[in-house]
Amino acid sequence: MEINRSLSHLDSQGQAQMVDVSGKELTKRQAVAAAQVRMKTTTFNTIQAGNAPKGDVLGTARLAGIMAAKQTSQLIPLCHPLPLHKIEVQIEPNPQLPGYQIQASVTTKAETGVEMEALTAVSVAALTLYDMAKALEKSIEIQSIRLLSKTGGKSGDYQISGDC
């Protein structure tokens, strides 16, 4: 078996390993991720009116996203535990879907980036929204989970191009 030596998460025998970031400088890093959740108009209207059977759907989903970002290293193998300085999760209604746009922004000053924390935040917020509303509709769709941007680090800045 030939081992690709350029993959940072593999050792010389091809075994998974956590990357050693101890030699890297602490720098400010930020990542922004997004997701969308589609549903029937009746479900959307019920959530907007605050009449969902389980209570505050959007507030619970937002809090779940924040909590999930803080737990990322326990969920994703080989992900470094990081001191997170700011986590912001926004859930905006989009009547045209109908559904919600979820966006998470995570900031740290560390040796490695926070892309996984931002992606975890939007994923868990979307899953929580589904859980809170599944009594109204089982066919809710979680879509388009993606990194929108990141700043800081050796690989430089990234921003998604085009419409998302």
Using CA atoms, how far apart are residues 63 and 48, in angstroms rounded to an integer?
Answer: 17
Answer for the pair 108, 82: CB distance below 8 angstroms, yes or no.
Answer: yes
Using CA atoms, how far apart are residues 52 and 69, in angstroms rounded to an integer?
Answer: 25
What pLDDT does residue 142 have?
Answer: 98
Using CA atoms, how far apart are residues 127 and 61, in angstroms rounded to an integer?
Answer: 8
What pLDDT does residue 23 have?
Answer: 67
Binding annotation for substrate:
78-80, 116-117
- Report the candidate in 149, 155, 150, 9 with the shortest Cα–Cα distance to residue 80: 9
Residue ranges covered by each domain of the chain: 27-152
- Please list the ranges in the chain whose pLDDT falls under 50: 1-5, 164
User: Which residues does the annotation mark as catalytic?
Assistant: 131
Q: pLDDT tens digit string along 102-148? A: 999 999 999 898 999 999 999 999 999 999 999 999 999 999 999 99
Binding annotation:
78-80, 116-117
- Regarding the domain with residue range 27-152, which homologous superfamily does it belong to in the CATH classification? Molybdopterin cofactor biosynthesis C (MoaC) domain (3.30.70.640)
What pLDDT does residue 73 have?
Answer: 95
φ, ψ of residue 110 to 5 degrees: the values are -155, -175
- Report the candidate in 49, 66, 162, 46 with the shortest Cα–Cα distance to residue 123: 66
Q: Give pTM, 2 decimals.
A: 0.88
What pLDDT does residue 21 have?
Answer: 73
